[in-house]
Structures are given as structure tokens and as C-alpha cells.
Structure 1
Amino acid sequence: MTTLSSRALNRALLDRQFLLARTDHSPLEVIGRLVALQAQEPNWPYVGLWSRIHGFTPPDLVALLEDRKVVRSGLLRSTQHLAAADDFLRLRPVLQPVLDRTARSAYFARNSAGLDTASLVAAGLELLAGGTVPRKELARRLAERHPGRDGRVLAGEVELRAPLVHGTTTGAWGSWGTRPAVSVTPAETWLGRPMAPATAKDLIRRYLAAFGPASAMDVQAWSGLTRLGEIVSGMRAELRRYRAADGRELIDLADAELPDPDTPAPVRLLPAFDNVLLGHADRTRIIGHADRKRVMPGQAQVRPTFLVDGRVHGSWSLEGDTLLLTPFRPLSATDRVALEQETRRLLSFVAGENLSCGGSNAIRFTDIHAAGLPA
């Protein structure tokens, strides 16, 4: 069994994520390859696609949302994602146990204690009446039906337990640091066709195409599903096996190619919550343990980062019309120039929305202490 170094795994991941070289594939094709883009904040998926696609512009994704070819909804790990409409109809049923588990957590259970789950979901769908309703309005109506309970939490539980999608304005390109109001619609009504469940094996194959080689535990960490080891074992005949440097068994699609580990990796700026940082239980192929604590200080936070030689080297943030870069380690002169060039490209990309970003002070470097990060 071939042993793969951390660098080999890094280059394989970057290659499959279109981060070794930008692609000419369409945004819909790229979203399909990546399975889904995490999208808690509306603007971040746009930056993720800009980092991967030649000539990508915000209207490219806006059009896909308006044409209902891409939808926003709860998906992997019960978090908000953008996914191709066809993929959502196939994969949401596979991932429904993850969302149901979240709906059974104490936060929701305390509020819905004594309510019949099926009746709550049926009431929510009845109130939607097959159409689009603001989430706040759904919450208000549910609270009227169930006095003494928090309607917002009830609406959140319905959204977890039933496949609802968000209106197009929820995922629109807009001002930084703000979230538009969310409206929800039953997915089958929005898309005009029924759910078409895939299998867990289908999901594993899609994962490996975007994140492999990887372990069964990696698939579980990415998806939120559990007990996939037995399913992976049943797929051994169709998969290729490798060994990680620490002895872990890794699996991959049989026909998947691995790039040369010595392939140069360009500087890349990634959005908050980028999939490439969240696709594995063992993330050391792209981020060190110390850096992970800086980038992911809590369960609900994954800061924007930049890659140097294929690995996380620092974080970044927007402050008015200035992009603030915080390297975790010194940069060579060559890497600093490359980082500044890529940063100016990103500033040009976001400037079309609401930033001036054209002056000499548009890029600023700081250290981890000034940025409030652990040393």
C-alpha cells in the first residue's frame, strides 16, 4: 500500500478544490465538484468561487440563484450551504439524520417539549402553504399556535426537519457584515420537482472527488453523518487504498489522479468557512494545530485565511476600504510580493460592491497580537 506524505495529500486536495490553478469551469460545475459551499454569511461563497474560477464575477452566482439552479439551505453539518439544485434534491435526504439530530439538541428540545414533532412540521408546512414566507412571519404564526413558546426556535426546528430553501435575496451579493432577511419555501415547490434521494455511497464518492484521498472519519467530520466505516468497507472493491504517514488508512476513487507533490502552489486568499479547511477530521494536510486554534477559536467561527505554498500562513479581514493581512509567521520577500498581488486582485473584486480599495493604504499588514490572535 502506497504511503502518501502530508505534502502529497496537500497537493491532491488543492488540485481537486481548484486551488492549484484557477479553472475555466462554470460556477455551477465548480459548486457541483465541491458538493456545496458553506454560506452562513452571504458574501463568502462569492469569494470562494473567485479564488477558484478565472474571471468569476458576483452576477455569475446571482444568476444561478435567481434561475433556481443553485439553492441555499441547511445541509452538511446542519449549517447553511449553497448547492446545485439537483444535488440538493439528492443529498438533503441522505443528510437529513444530521439535521434531525440537531433538532433534537437541548436548544430545540427545551422549547418544543410536549409537542408532537410530526404535527409541528405539518403545521409549519401548512403555514407556508406551498409558497414563500419570511422566516420572521413563520415564527410569528407558529408562536400564535403555541403560546408560551419561542416562535423563532420553532421555525428553526421546522427548517431543520423539513427541506426548505431560502429566497434568492438571502444569498445575494451585498454589503459586508450584514445579513438580509431570510424567507423560506418548501424545496419541492421552489424547484418544481420532488426529492430524489441518493445513497450514502453516492455521497462518499462525491466527497472523495472533492477532498480525497481521505479516511472514513474524514467523511464523517465533513458530512456530520456517523457510522460510515461499515459502508466504506463495503465499497473497498471499487476504491483505491493508501496509507498516511502516520499509518492511517486512506481511501480514494480508483480512477482519481494525484498531482506531483512538487507542483508549485500559488498564494490564495480564502473566505471564512472555506470548505478546504473543513473537509477533514485531520486537517494537518493544510493547517497546523497552532494555526487551527487561531483560525477556529470556537465552533461557530472560521476566519478568512491565506495560503502560502499550499498551507494556511495567516488570516485576513476587511476594515472599511482596507484589507488587513495577519501572517502567523514571517513571509519571504517573494511570498510577500505574491500575497500583495493576489490581495490587490481580491480588493478589485470586492470594490465593485461598496469599497473604494484603490488607494495606497488598501493593504495593511499586522501581527497576531495586534489582531487579537493567540501567539
Structure 2
Amino acid sequence: MRYDVIIIGAGSMGMAAGYYLAKEGKKVALVDSNDPPHIKGSHHGETRLIRHGYGEGEKYVPLALRSQELWYELENESNRKLFHKTGVLNIGTKESTFLKNVIQSAKRYDLNAEVLNAVDINRRWEGYHLNEDLLACYEPNAGVLMSEEAIQAYRELAIQYGADLFLNENVERIDIQSDHVTIGLKDKRLHGNQLIITAGKGTNKITALFEQELPLTPIRKTFSWFQAAEEKYKIGSFPAWSFDNGQAVFYGFPSMNKSGPKIGRHDGGIPLTKGEELASFGSYTEDEEDVTEFAKQTMSETLIHKLGKVCTYTNSPDGDFIIDRFKEYPHVMIACGFSGHGFKFSSAIGEVLSQMAIKGNSTQDISFFSLDRFKQGSF
């Protein structure tokens, strides 16, 4: 069988792309070395933030707003609760570039947002005890995505629309011809007109099969849940949030289904070498110490650490995404380097990739995600 599109990597971006392509009537094969949703990539741990005013740059705002629309559509079609409008509080100092970008992008796109000082914040949300030099931009329409539920929804719908899934399969060979590609698995071959690679931390393992290497650094990351006063920190009483004081970057979630508030550190992490397995939570003292000390400094209650997990960021050199075609192989597309802030966009990026495969281009401006910006290699 010859597929219209083969997708290698059926996690956040890949599964979304598979859904949109299959929905458009394309014959799609999704290949993954695991069985998504799973715990070895970047999507597990139940929840992810979706922010609209964007600290990483206002160029992301249109993509964030389109993503939000598509999350609502997926909720309706899948009959799953995927988004909780908890509001997102973006916290920083007056000098924080991140916070300045949030405020500026909110103004430019006329988003529903409110600038608050520390006194305002501590009064409105009893769970906080922020220092007086901090302020924040609050987005009431932003909130929390259920990441694993979302991937499961895309998976079920992609199958309903006719996509074929090849799971727990390692790609051993990629042969690229001028008008098609052949993917070699352990005991089968898949033929496709086009190829999309969304393989996360395994991207360079895949691209090496056709002698390409991208500037990517996989990073081991952790996040934790805490025991805390449920009335103060539960969803409906406490927002989701991000925090950047110029020295450290953290993020967090209210208690969902009495799980306790969740906190992670966005910066830092442990780089991974090729093929290295993720060390379990607690392998490094900072796994628990960083978030526990942060909670002590910013929360009004004593939060008791109760559970930690690990995941992976795949970072590009500038922290921006890579979404492009290979110059030598225009029928081979790549989406990677999501640098720990990509999941919220996976609905829109899935749509972008499907449009690129079907129409040749996207309705979204993705020019700033081009491989050309690195000016290295042939790409």
C-alpha cells in the first residue's frame, strides 16, 4: 500500500497532523517507537498550559489563538474535556523581558488581560505570598490543557477517519526518491508520497537515516505535585501560572481532581546524550529541591512534596520551533525543537503540517520557524 503521507513520531504534533490529514480523506500511516500517549516523551504528566499573550514573543500569538479555537473544536468532536479556563497569571519583575512581551503582545492583539501588582495578587488568590517587587499579567481566558487526554482524542479520531497506526515500531531505514519515500520497519515496508517527521528527542536518530542532523538538544526535565490546602489551591480558586524573575523560570497548575498543585522548573535541566534513558525522578537533588524552595518563597501555605515525574524537552538553539521542509527533499517535512513550550500549539501545528502536505503551504505564518535561520548544513 502507498500512503499519501507517512508520519514518524505520533506524539503531540504527529498525532494531531495524522488526525487532520485523515479527516481530509488522506491515507495516513503513523509510526511510533512507543504507544502514545506514553511517559517517554514530552506530553505526559496530565496537564499543560495554554497562554495567549506570549512571553517568548508576540509572533506566537496568532498561532496560540488558532490553537485555542482548535482545542475547542476537538473537545466538541471527541466529547472529552480537554481545556479548563483557569486563567493564567504570568508573573515577573518589572525588568522581566518575558513579562514585558506578555503585556505588549496582549495589547497588540487586544487580548483580555489585566496587569496586577503583588498586593493585588496576594489579595485575590490567598495561596500566593509574592514579594512586593513582583507584578503579573493575568489572562482570564487562558488555562490548562489535558495533554494525555488530547493525544488520546486525536488518536481515536484519526483511526476513525482511516489512519493506520504502527506502534512500538523502530524505523530502521528511510529511502527517499524524487517522488516518494520508503520507510523500513523491522518486518515491513511503508511507501508514501510524503513524509512528516515529528519525532521529538528522537528526531536526529531518524534524520541520520538520510544523513541529516538538526541543531537539537534533548533535556531531561522534571515536575512535581504537592500536598496543600485544597480550598486555596484547587481549580476555581487558584490560577495556572508562569514565573520569570530573570534568574529562574517556573510554571504551575492548580490542584486538578484533588491531585494537589503542580510545579515545574522551565529553565535548566540535564542534557541527554544519544540513546540515554531518562533517569528516574530523584536521581538529582535539584529534582525536588528547586520546586520545593520556590514554593516556600512564593506560596502562603507550606506545600509538601508528594510526587515527581520526568519528561523531555527538545531544545533548538534559540528556543523557537523548527517547522520546514528539507531543501534537498521538498516532500519531507520536519517539526521539532519545541523547547518545552510547544504542546499548547500542537493542535494548530497539526493543522499547519496537514496544510503543507495537502496544499504546499499553510494559512499560518511559519516563516520564523525556518531551518534557514541556522545557516548550517544543507537542510
| Common topology (TM > 0.5) | no
More strand by share: 2
More helix by share: 1
Higher relative contact order (CA 8 A, sep 6+): 2
What is the TM-score with the length of structure 1 in the denominator? Answer: 0.29
